[in-house]
Amino acid sequence: MHFLKKAIKIIFSFCIYYLRLDALLYRCIKKSGTTVLLYHSVNPSTIVPNAVGLCISPKRFERHIRYLAKRCNIIPISEMVACLENNKPLPANSVAITLDDGFGDNFKYAFPILKKYRSSALIFLISDIINTSRLPWLLEFYQRMRFAGAKHLSIDLAKAVPAANDVFGTEREIDLPLVTSGQRCKATLELRKILKKLPEVPRQQLLSAIYEKITLDQNSVQSDNFRMLSWDEIRSMRQHGIEFGAHSRNHANLLKFSEADLWDELIISKQRIEENLKEAVTTFAFPGYASTNKSPEVDALLKRAGYRGCMSDVNLVDGINGSTTNPFDIRRIEILEPTFMLAGELVYYRFFRDYIKK
């Protein structure tokens, strides 16, 4: 079934793109609504396992932006939020571009492409990691797994993280070979599944236990490939119209936080960016997996902190935003596939999904 669905999607996208049905649809049907696209790292190399996504090559990113500039109406997120606040219809056939986390490659590779096609974009920054040599915890984990010195990893989970025994069930012993790149990739995905289930403190404990055992082969780490943006790069992009939003302080799972701690995250990440940009930051994006249980109380907290818009979790709600979309629950889609697949997805969400779902 999954295979059939995928095949239909490919054939549909292929026809839309190569028969130029997209051009026809966009010309004939001026449908209000904004599709917000999500990217992360734009980089010719990657430390991330293929199955995870997260990275797009600069070549493919340029093809995406060229396509969007030609077929759609690229608008800034600030314009979209202003429409939603004032109950104004969103511009017809519009898309908005967002990049999460604030990787240094956004400046090196994505920014020249955005400039070339005069495309707006909004980058969500992890305030405490920006301008440092640190990486978000998941990226650091990928990097250490990729360049592990050890050929093998065995951990007794119950011993390494006693506080989280109930999360692991019967799978208490981890025993993973790390010799080939395939084995490293498989191990990375398996451990990632466990790490994502854990609250902050036990996750840190398990990460420390893993790092102690696998050691990092410093010689093979390509240091410049994955780093975060500097404030100078951020300011330089801002001068050219790129917008910035907050994406928490450290990319933790915020909805497991107490209200007081969540408040700190919302307000401190906002202030730190504002101090460096000398202007108000009004958009927030919860770190990847965090908005599962976002409640109206969280919306109220966001508003009180001075935010005007918030992105919802890409894995939970996707598709197109209409005039009735809650500005604190803006939907996004992440497409890292070739341009014809992007074309197909955009057309599907804009013109067909409502009919197919009914």
Contact residues toward Zn ion (CB under 5 A) are: 100-101, 287-288
Residue whose Cβ sits closest to Zn ion: 100
- Is the Cβ of residue 62 or residue 101 nearer to Zn ion in the bound state? 101
To which residue do tokens 């690229």 refer?
74
Q: What is the 8-class DSSP label of residue 257?
A: S
Q: How far is the CB of 250 from Zn ion (least distance, A)?
A: 11
Q: How far is the CB of 248 from Zn ion (least distance, A)?
A: 8
**Nearest one of 163, 183, 160 to 172, comparing CA atoms:** 160
Helix (H), strand (E) at residue 95: strand 94-101
Q: Which amino acid is at 310?
A: C
Q: How far is the CB of 170 from Zn ion (least distance, A)?
A: 31
Q: How far is the CB of 257 from Zn ion (least distance, A)?
A: 16
- Is the Cβ of residue 100 or residue 345 nearer to Zn ion in the bound state? 100
- Is the Cβ of residue 33 or residue 288 nearer to Zn ion in the bound state? 288
- Is the Cβ of residue 17 or residue 103 nearer to Zn ion in the bound state? 103
> Could you give the angle at which helices 181-197 and 137-146 cross, rounded to 10 degrees?
150
Rounded Cα distance between 269 and 93, Å, is 33
Q: How far is the CB of 126 from Zn ion (least distance, A)?
A: 7
Question: What are the backbone dihedrals phi and psi of residue 213, each rounded to the nearest 5 degrees, phi first?
Answer: -80, -35
Q: How far is the CB of 317 from Zn ion (least distance, A)?
A: 16
Q: Are 154 and 175 in contact (CB under 8 A)?
A: yes
**Nearest one of 59, 65, 38 to 109, comparing CA atoms:** 59
Rounded Cα distance between 167 and 349, Å, is 37
- Is the Cβ of residue 16 or residue 262 nearer to Zn ion in the bound state? 262
- Is the Cβ of residue 100 or residue 105 nearer to Zn ion in the bound state? 100
- Is the Cβ of residue 214 or residue 285 nearer to Zn ion in the bound state? 285
> Could you give the angle at which helices 21-28 and 2-18 cross, rounded to 10 degrees?
70
- 87 torsion bin: left (phi>0), alpha (psi -120 to 50), beta (else): left
Give the burial string for 330-345 (b: 16+ CB within 10 Å, else e). bbbbbbbbebbbbbbb
Q: How far is the CB of 352 from Zn ion (least distance, A)?
A: 29
Alpha-carbon torsion angle 320, 117, 48, 217, nearest 10? -160
Q: How far is the CB of 116 from Zn ion (least distance, A)?
A: 26
Q: Which amino acid is at 261?
A: D
Q: How far is the CB of 189 from Zn ion (least distance, A)?
A: 18
- Is the Cβ of residue 23 or residue 336 nearer to Zn ion in the bound state? 336
- Is the Cβ of residue 17 or residue 286 nearer to Zn ion in the bound state? 286
Q: Which amino acid is at 73?
A: N
**Nearest one of 18, 120, 15 to 68, comparing CA atoms:** 120
Q: Which amino acid is at 284?
A: F
